[in-house]
Structure 1
Amino acid sequence: MESVVQWLKKNKITEVECLISDFTGIARGKIMPADKFCKEKGVRLPESVLIQTVTGDYLDEEPYYDVIDPAEVDVRLRPDETAIYLVPWALEPTAQIIHDVYDKKGNLIELSPRNLLKKVLKLYSGKGWQPIVAPELEFYLTQMNVNPDHPLEPPVGRSGRQETGRQSYSIDAVNEFDPLFEDIYDYCEAQQLDVDTLIHEEGTAQMEINFRHGSPLELADQVFLFKRTVREVALKHNMTATFMAKPISDEPGSAMHVHQSIHEQKTLRNIFTGDNGENTDFFYGYIAGLQKYMPSAMPLFAPNVNSYRRFLPGESAPVNVEWGVDNRTVALRVPDSEGENKRVENRLPGADANPYLAIAGSLLCGYMGMSEGLHPTAPFEGSAYDSESMRLPLSLEHALMMLEDCQPLCEMLGKKFVRAYIAVKEAESENFKRIISSWERKYLLMTV
């Protein structure tokens, strides 16, 4: 805590945002004066915040007394001294500090997404391994939209015109929003977020930011904060930035591809590559674990009812767990790389996924495959979009059923976490069903 206090004083911080991530990835916590933060012995929040739905509702507590304390107790938040960042859009010097969540006895709370990722990383550390990841995050820029019944529209760029058509990799299309991206890069630099390449994706005003490779926990923190950053910058420029998996009809969905490799902690050697450059048993086991367990882990990669619109026929998202070399139609792409650069790209997670849970889920599936000595299928040649093997659950309800039925995965994730997570997602699904859509009014109102 002393190093945190010194950092705050050095940067003349007057206000502190104490942050944790809930299941959805929403930043929850408290804001307080820096002086009060330094004097406090810790921050507390109600335990029930961790099982809040995306709509802000709480689960009925009684059926979940085995998940949370029936007395509605507080949990303790402890600042991570390696996760302190400036808030560059704030009007006064402000810091945002990511916290870990503990119970009153000092035990890590199982329901915290960040704690789950730390739990998975501890499994790797026990083997003497260090995972390395590099996320790629897609998002849309749109005009401000205050009426949820109205479809989203592309924003107006520097030319005074809306973007039309598909502009994959267009430099000029990105330059239309130069002032916005200059602010994004400036804000990311102020927070020391390791963003790298910016490209225009396939959709109208759809962009992608790549992150430099590094520690999974650090990169999950950065993606968590990056989403806040992009939304703030978009608002500054009178736009909206959305990380919904499928925000616009007839436009491609948005993904969060995660490149991953495993290295020895002591030597930093990539265990996916042998001495002669050949693929190792660890490499094949990792892919096989993803193939076996990813369908059951789908709620971590596609957590919302909207997530599954990415997987409809004709979409560019993978609908299976095939793997292949330099093949973008499979879920598990192995980029054409050699030696220490050998890695697997998981193309399944949506941009709407909680980065802590998506990265934890992917690393856990791969870990289980290596631990069990599994073997993958043959690498897929050609387009895998029409592959009928190893298909994925294509609705949230089906995905939740598969997760609940996969005992090995539930044991590794923790039964308390799985029970709470499924309950929250079932509540969100039920809430969604109560809303009458514009499609129903358009086609059924006067015809049935």
Structure 2
Amino acid sequence: MDDIARIERENIGFNEMDAWLNKNGVTEIECLVPDLTGVPRGKILPRGKFREERGMRLPEAVLGMTVTGEVPSSDVFNSIISEADSDLILKPDPNTVRIVPWASDPTAEVIHDCFTVDNKLVSYAPRSVLRHVLDLYAQRGWKPVVAPELEFYILARNTDPNQPLEPPVGRSGRSESGRQAYSIDAVNEFDPLFEDIYEYCDKQELEIDTLIHEIGTGQMEINFLHGDPLELADSVFYFKRTVREAALRHNMYATFMAKPMAHQPGSAMHIHQSVVDIDSGENLFSNSDGSDSSLFRGAIGGLQKFLPSTMALLAPYVNSYRRLVRDTAAPTNVQWGRDNRTVGIRVPHSSPKAKRLENRVVGADANPYLAMAATLACTYLGMVNRVEASPELRGNGYNHPHEHELPRSLNEAIDLLRETKALHDVLGRSFIAVYSSVKELEYTEFMRVISPWERQHLLLHV
């Protein structure tokens, strides 16, 4: 059975999708595909054309662009994405169809998968990478369960990129000041915005859980209910669109940049993960007596061994590494500990049935599909290869003698990703080649920019 047939069998199917579109009176379809950065690409089709074509075509380069829209020209890149820039065939995943709640006319959105002309999944597409990792788990009778926690900032509108960002004005007519971690009143300052966010999420059937005010000024966090990694990655993809759209309608910006403001904490996407047996549903991280299983210890060991090599996916921009510095509520190590937020791998308090790991390294700016895939790839390699975890770290992880166990720049992270062959087998060699080429070009583009810091401190002093 080819990949298209397999996906159609697993989901609700086109007939059910058509019935849903009819029921909701949909006249237009936003046909979306997540690119390497997590940006929605695609086309808007009239309902009739969508029904006839069951998808669309886009140039291959859509999956090989930097965040600025540039395309690499290296031999390695061109060996995968041809210079002829042929078409991708994109097919809708019926299970992802949602109403676009802010559209003026009845409009639906649906995420598409990318295929070659012979009906094979394009291996370097972000959804394909995650699907491949999930298939590896399924072959061993395992099913990963995840729950992301996503931080973001709401900001005053700022159309000048040369000016620092500021918190927005709330209902009181004043901008937030100081640190308001877990403050209910600080969240209530922006009630109209969050009422729209919850309404939009409800209409899109996005199962969000808790809303809290995080440490930073104007920094919020939304927690998602645990579930299937691909479905949760789709939800995060939709959620980012939703929050940005809602903020604009309230004359604000919302950003998922890892470090938008110099003197505020960065934003993360913490990923909680457990693994259950497909047949029994039992949590494989716990033994029958509730103690830690060997698979649990292997998963920790896998994260410790391979997280540094996946940082180009988990911290994908130059800005990402501004978050990963000492004493900013972000981890700088791959140590693990129970209920310890100063380490990269936290084991929250839970019952044996709910035992899980929390990867605290991931930035909010990461592509959710690739962040899930990278996290699951690390734990998979650790469990399969019985990688031994280090002893638990107790106390402050920032005082650990090996504090800097993660790459400290995008350039270093790209090199580590290319060098770690074990990850190539799990994430896909063509994906690694395309992704690292794109990130290398982004880094080169950034290095052509002269920052205000350089002009301020170097212009007349060196």
Tell me the TM-score normalized by structure 1.
0.98
Equivalent of 2:453 in 421, 432, 439: 439
Equivalent of 1:123 in 122, 136, 144: 136
Return the alpha-carbon distance in structure 2 between the equivalents of residues 248 and 423 of structure 1. Answer: 28
In the alignment, does 2:432 pair up with 1:422?
no
Give the count of matched residue pairs: 448
In the alignment, does 2:323 pair up with 1:301?
no
1:354 aligns to what?
Answer: 367
2:393 aligns to what?
Answer: 380
Deviations 1:192-239 (A, max 9, x none): 001110000000000000000010000000000000000000000000
Q: Is contact 1:61–1:70 with CA below 8 Å preserved after alignment? A: no
2:96 aligns to what?
Answer: 83
- Secondary structure of 1:116's counterpart equals helix
What amino acid sits opposite 1:383 in the alignment? N
Deviations 1:116-145 (A, max 9, x none): 000000011111111110000000010001
In the alignment, does 2:410 pair up with 1:396?
yes
- Secondary structure of 2:284's counterpart equals coil
Q: Which runs of 5+ in 2 are unaligned?
A: 1-13
Structure 1 residues 77-226: aligned runs within 5 Å: 77-226=90-239
Return the alpha-carbon distance in structure 1 between the equivalents of residues 206 and 142 of structure 2. Answer: 24
What amino acid sits opposite 1:414 in the alignment? G
Deviations 1:220-259 (A, max 9, x none): 0000000000000000000000000000011000000000
Deviations 1:128-164 (A, max 9, x none): 1111100000000100010000000010000000000
Structure 1 vs Structure 2 CA RMSD: 1.1
Structure 1 runs (4+) deviating above 6 angstroms are none
Q: Is contact 1:132–1:263 with CA below 8 Å preserved after alignment? A: yes
Return the alpha-carbon distance in structure 2 between the equivalents of residues 32 and 285 of structure 1. Answer: 47
Q: Which runs of 5+ in 1 are unaligned?
A: none
Return the alpha-carbon distance in structure 1 between the equivalents of residues 373 and 171 of structure 2. Answer: 40
Larger mean Cα displacement after TM superposition, 376-385 or 39-48:
39-48
Identical positions, percent: 54
What amino acid sits opposite 1:29 in the alignment? G
Q: Is contact 2:76–2:433 with CA below 8 Å preserved after alignment? A: no
Equivalent of 2:421 in 368, 392, 407: 407
Return the alpha-carbon distance in structure 1 between the equivalents of residues 120 and 378 of structure 2. Answer: 25
Return the alpha-carbon distance in structure 1 between the equivalents of residues 329 and 54 of structure 2. Answer: 50
Return the alpha-carbon distance in structure 2 between the equivalents of residues 73 and 223 of structure 1. Answer: 29
Return the alpha-carbon distance in structure 2 between the equivalents of residues 123 and 41 of structure 1. Answer: 29
Q: Is contact 2:172–2:189 with CA below 8 Å preserved after alignment? A: yes
Return the alpha-carbon distance in structure 1 between the equivalents of residues 347 and 180 of structure 2. Answer: 26
What amino acid sits opposite 2:457 in the alignment? Y
What amino acid sits opposite 1:374 in the alignment? V
Return the alpha-carbon distance in structure 1 between the equivalents of residues 76 and 234 of structure 2. Answer: 32
- Secondary structure of 1:294's counterpart equals helix
Structure 1 residues 30-41: aligned runs within 5 Å: 30-41=43-54
2:289 aligns to what?
Answer: 276
- Secondary structure of 2:265's counterpart equals coil
